[in-house]
Structure 1
Amino acid sequence: MHASNHELLQPADDGPEAEVDYDDPVSVHASEARQLAHVQAQLDVSALQQDWRALAQARLSSQADVEALVAMNRDPDQLLANDDNVYVQRLPVARDDLLIAGLPNGYFSADWNVFQNHALIRQLEATHGYRFFGIGASWLGFVRRQAPDEKAARQLVRDLAMIYPSEDADAAAAAWNALALLLTGRRTLLLGYTENFAD
């Protein structure tokens, strides 16, 4: 079931203005604007905010996930390689971290949900200087003012290794080292958040 249908993410259905005529673009837009405003507000409720370190228990990771992170960050064009059409949604939000409130993906139960992704987004911005800029079907996109130096890249990779634990520590160490070295040469960072992002 799509986790975006969770009651915490649904605006109140109060009054006739909450009724949606799906044949009327104005009505659909008003409904989407209500949902966006509601999810933004929910993300700022401190009681609903999550600890980014808990992401390790939220979905299963594997060595393939770590290798996919390296491969995608090495060649980010892969994200669009198989798409005939690419849609870009711009949102009227007060802060970059709130872009996640647009809910372009439905989120399945084995994926990190919007609150978990928001926890990661806040952590990467506050600690590592990465600004969230977008989300796709399986990947989150971040950008930094400049590429991190080696020390900063290794600190980032230590945090990422916590939330993408691998059963093969030695193989994972080699992949994480490769990612750290790769990131020193680029401003962008791509992270998978769904159960099967490595596919």
Structure 2
Amino acid sequence: MKIEKLIKTREPYQEMLFDSFLIEDIKSYEELIDVYKTYKQNNPDKTIILTLDDLGQAEYTSGHACDWNSLLDTEGYDLSGLDKACYDEDNEHLGHLSTPSEYFIIRENFLKQTKGIDFKKVCERNINNSEDDVLDLENMNESPLAFLDKQVILKILPVEKPYEGLTGFPNGYFSADLSPFENYALSKHLFDKYNLELFGIGASFLGFIKNEHLKDNELKALIADLAKLYNTTESEFEKLANIIKNKNHLFLRYTE
């Protein structure tokens, strides 16, 4: 495995607001999770988020999600105490976010738009659930490495709660997808109810991790929640339940 700190600007440009690392030559999912846990242990006051599937598409839609939802908008914020690099030679703000001192702007813009969105409202989106979609969930939860991009970016974000990590890589751009704020509500629900920590997001999937296996009553309740989320019956997820009951992870699709 190769890990390299990102110095040059990549899209989406919010990566300039926090430390990011490019991970390549991943040999196993377990190896990647060990890296995640190491960075998490070394940054106890921060949140670690990994990119998952289809990095290029995920970056593209994240950039559009930021623009569409005005997440990088500086209007109404006090910019006087920012890093000197944020200003031009005339002491005017550059007009875009470019340093860690400005991260609070995207975070606040994001969190303002999560108000009034809860798990019930997320379920009302009626995300489509075909046989192929169920099969994808089963396969990814059984063999995550096959779905991960060959390049993964690890982001270290100055937030406390795992679901707040979405403020550093907002995703959910197309109208048929869950929005960034619905992904936030879903991730918060799973953390509050099952202690499932959001650790990654890609172009189509959210990834959650738990330090111990789900108890039987938790698994039953989770499957009921998934049936509500995907507007289907619990019986559709019998095989998925058998897969995840012995896993410490859960992958969910947030796209049509």
Which TM-score band applies after superposition, normalised by the shorter structure? 0.7 to 0.9
Q: Tell me whether 176-185 or 47-56 shows the greater mean CA deviation.
A: 47-56
Distance 1:97-1:105 versus aligned 2 partners, 3 A rule: closer
- 2:169 matches 1:103: yes
State yes or no: 1:19 paired with 2:95: yes
CA distance in 1, matches of 2:227, 2:172: 26
Q: Normalized against structure 1, the TM-score is what?
A: 0.76
Number of residue pairs matched by the alignment: 179
Deviation at 1:19, TM superposition (A): 2.0
Q: Specify the alignment match of 1:50 in structure 2.
A: 117
CA gap of 1:109–1:5, structure 2 versus 1, over 3 A, is farther
- Residue 222 of structure 2 is aligned to residue 159 of structure 1: no
Q: Looking at secondary structure, tell me which structure has more strand per residue.
A: 2
1:37 to 2:104 alignment = yes
User: Residue 89 of structure 1: SS of its match in structure 2?
Assistant: strand
Whether the 8 Å CA contact 1:183–1:189 is kept in 2: the answer is yes
CA distance in structure 2 between the partners assigned to 1:181 and 1:148 by the alignment: 11
The TM-score normalised by the length of structure 2 is 0.61
- Deviation of 1:18 after TM superposition, in Å, equals 4.3
Q: Which residue pairs with 1:189 in the alignment?
A: 250
Change (3 A) 1:89 1:46: closer
- The aligned counterpart of 1:71 is 139
Distance in 1, Cα, partners of 2:150 & 2:114 = 41
Structure 1's 59 and 10: CA in aligned 2 closer, same or farther, altered over 3 A? farther
Tell me how large the CA RMSD over aligned residues is.
2.6
Mean CA deviation greater in 2-11 or 140-149: 2-11
Query: Match of 1:177, as an amino acid?
Result: E
Query: 1:186: Cα distance to partner?
Result: 0.8
Report the 3-state secondary structure (helix = DSSP H, G, I; strand = E; otherwise coil) of the residue aligned with 2:199. Answer: strand
- Structure 1, residues 77-108: CA drift from partner, whole Å, max 9, x if none? 1222xx34332222222321210001254622
Answer with 8-17 or 54-63: which moved more. Answer: 8-17
Structure number with higher helix proportion: 1
What code does the residue aligned with 1:77 have?
L
Letter matched to residue 71 of structure 1: N
Distance 1:142 1:38, change over 3 A: same
Q: Secondary structure at the match of 1:194?
A: coil
- Contact 2:205–2:252 (Cα < 8 Å) also in 1: yes
SS in 2 for 1:90: strand
AA aligned opposite 1:17? H
Q: Provide structure 2 residue ranges, at least 5 long, that are not aligned to the other structure.
A: 1-60, 80-91
